[in-house]
Amino acid sequence: MNTNGLAIGIDVGGSMIKGALVDGAGQIVKSSQGNTDADKPLDVTISNLIEIIRPLMQENVHGIGIGLPGEVDRLRGEFVKAPNIAKINGTPIVDLVREQFKVPVMLENDANCIALAEAKLGGGRKHKTVVGIIIGTGFGAGIVHNEKIFTGGMGVAGEIGRIPAGEGGHLELEDYVSSRALTRYYKNLSGLECSPEEIVYHQNQGDRFAQEAIRIMAQHLSNGLKTIIYMINPNVIVMVAINFFYMI
């Protein structure tokens, strides 16, 4: 373990908060996780975040990075638009965490974090332009060029999941490619309510409705990837999918 560069990374999702203590080589030393409790008062979610960080702290931790879906105000250290946890918008997350643990804290869009990690340590290493995609409750993406996150003029570049999609462009790509999209496809086909994990299980058991639901989403995903390729022309696209996609 390289203890010279320990840092803590936090992923704040709509249902879970996950944390990891990482060494200078990018190896996970220790992890923790807990509920986000997005449906409860804001102070509950903030308390959960603090308690997930606490067991990861050590004297030689140099900083904490926090990622969450949505638009980030990097100067103020707060989220402008976090669609899955709207109550956190405008909350000075960086100040609250820094005050608690007395180390530098940085805030970033979660897909940008994934894209940067893949560009430096993962499937995008040694490539000039990398697009990282995260598929879960929504569809997030980040762009890294020359090992730096590209945020554009207003700081929101890479929000590919927000690209208009469907007839009339009234919906967005993430309405067609996400865990909630998959459950909707399956319900429309079968009349049954199932979790994404259950749908993938049924697909592996030969359920034709589950197979068709996954085929529909895969088609929309391929259309989204085609758009990325023509607009950004990356050297590589790295996809990181949450939970259910690993089962396919």
Q: Are 21 and 29 in contact (CB under 8 A)?
A: yes
The pTM (predicted TM-score) of the whole model is: 0.84
- For residues 48-83, one letter each, b for 16 or more C-beta atoms within 10 angstroms of the residue's C-beta and e for the rest, the string is bbeebbeebeeeebeebbbbbbbbbbeeebbbeebb
246 pLDDT band (50/70/90 cuts)? very low
Interval 191-207: pLDDT, tens: 999 999 899 999 999 99
User: Is 3.30.420.40 the CATH number for 3-103?
Assistant: yes
Model pLDDT for residues 225-236, shown as the tens digit of each residue: 999 999 999 999
CATH number given to 113-247: 3.30.420.40
Within 8 A by CB and 6+ apart from 69, the residues are 13, 14, 82, 83, 84, 109, 110, 111, 137, 138, 140
Question: How is the chain split into domains, by residue range?
Answer: 3-103, 113-247
pLDDT category of residue 138 using cuts at 50, 70 and 90:
confident
Contact 163, 173 (CB under 8 A): yes
**pLDDT tens digits, one per residue of 82-132:** 766 777 788 888 999 999 999 999 999 989 999 999 999 999 999 999 999
